[in-house]
Amino acid sequence: MSKTAVVLLGTGTPNAEPDRMGSALAVVVGDNVYLVDFGPGVVRRAAGAQRAGIEALRMENLTTAFLTHLHSDHTAGYADLIMTPWVLGRAQPLSVYGPPGLVNMTEHILAAYEMDRDMRVCGLEPTTGAGYGAAANEIGPGVCFQDNHVTVEAFEVDHGKGWMALGYQFTTSDRRIVISGDTAPMDSAAQLWKGCDVLVHEVYSKKGYDMREPHWQRYHAAMHTSTAQLAQIADRVRPNLLVLTHLLLWGSTEEELVSEIREHYDGEVVCGEDLGVY
């Protein structure tokens, strides 16, 4: 495995699919972990990845996260990410970076769990307050984080009006990883992402889309990216590996999804799976 790896923790959508948790992944650089999104199941999937051999994803290492946007399938695991790693030994508060609205969400979650915190710290449970909480940092496009292992650049994507939605580029010593977040196709993608090592991109099945009701078709066409559209993007970007996530299948199969991409794109592409390592 490369020094830098992408570990998919959740490849699902708002649909309650038991085999796919809500949107979440980890960029792992050696022993350092950087989460992107925290949909339902993120903490349990991290524990599963550790059990599968990705030791970096132990609870005390879940200290830094980036949010693409405020939809519930990307944020419903936020309270779990704040609380559970702390209870299990995290020594510092969670640091979170994301679009406007993140601070408000964080403050309300911390208020909701105030009694839980007090009981754990002040009762018989041997838990200290040191690793409790979350420091929320609202960001916009541009370099938003840098340490000795990674530089993270945010870019704005097209996922509805009235709020900001972001994607992220992670640059390490050995790889450049682009994570689209939820987005409709963007003309700027080829220039921003060209030649990256890994492109993790959302997608919906054209076959499944054709069976949807017209009002849902209007929504998905405006907010998301079809297989044919993603194939065109990938053909211009030419990533070393295209990883499909946030899979909207609507009765189509994973094999059919990949086949739809390959009709228009001859590069390496895989259908992402929860706990997949790329």
Residue 277, in any domain of the structure: no
Residue 123, in any domain of the structure: yes
Reported as a single tens digit per residue, the pLDDT across 190-226 is 889 999 999 999 999 999 999 999 999 999 999 999 9
Residue 46, in any domain of the structure: yes
Nearest CA among 267, 141, 254 for reference residue 203: 254
Residue 278, in any domain of the structure: no
What SS3 class is residue 181? coil
Reported as a single tens digit per residue, the pLDDT across 216-259 is 999 999 999 999 999 999 999 999 999 999 999 999 999 999 99
Residue 147, in any domain of the structure: yes
What's the domain range around 110?
Answer: 4-271
Q: What is the DSSP string of 23-71?
A: SEEEEEETTEEEEE---TTHHHHHHHHHHTT-GGGSGGG--EEE-S---
Identify the pLDDT of residue 10.
Answer: 98
What is the C-alpha separation between 208 and 182, in angstroms, rounded?
Answer: 18
Identify the pLDDT of residue 7.
Answer: 98
Res. 5 pLDDT band, cuts 50 70 90: very high
Residue 48, in any domain of the structure: yes
Q: What is the DSSP string of 59-117?
A: GGG--EEE-S---HHHHTTHHHHHHHHHHTT--SPEEEEESTTHHHHHHHHHHHTHHHH
Residue 188, in any domain of the structure: yes
CB 99 within 8 A of CB 163: yes
Residue 1 has pLDDT above 70, yes or no: no
Residue 97, in any domain of the structure: yes
Q: Which DSSP letter does residue 255 get?
A: H
Q: In what order do the strands lie in the sheet with 94-98?
A: 4-10, 24-29, 32-36, 64-66, 94-98, 134-138
What is the C-alpha separation between 86 and 60, in angstroms, rounded?
Answer: 7
Q: Domain holding 212: CATH number?
A: 3.60.15.10
Please tell me the total count of domains within the chain. 1
CB 44 within 8 A of CB 84: no
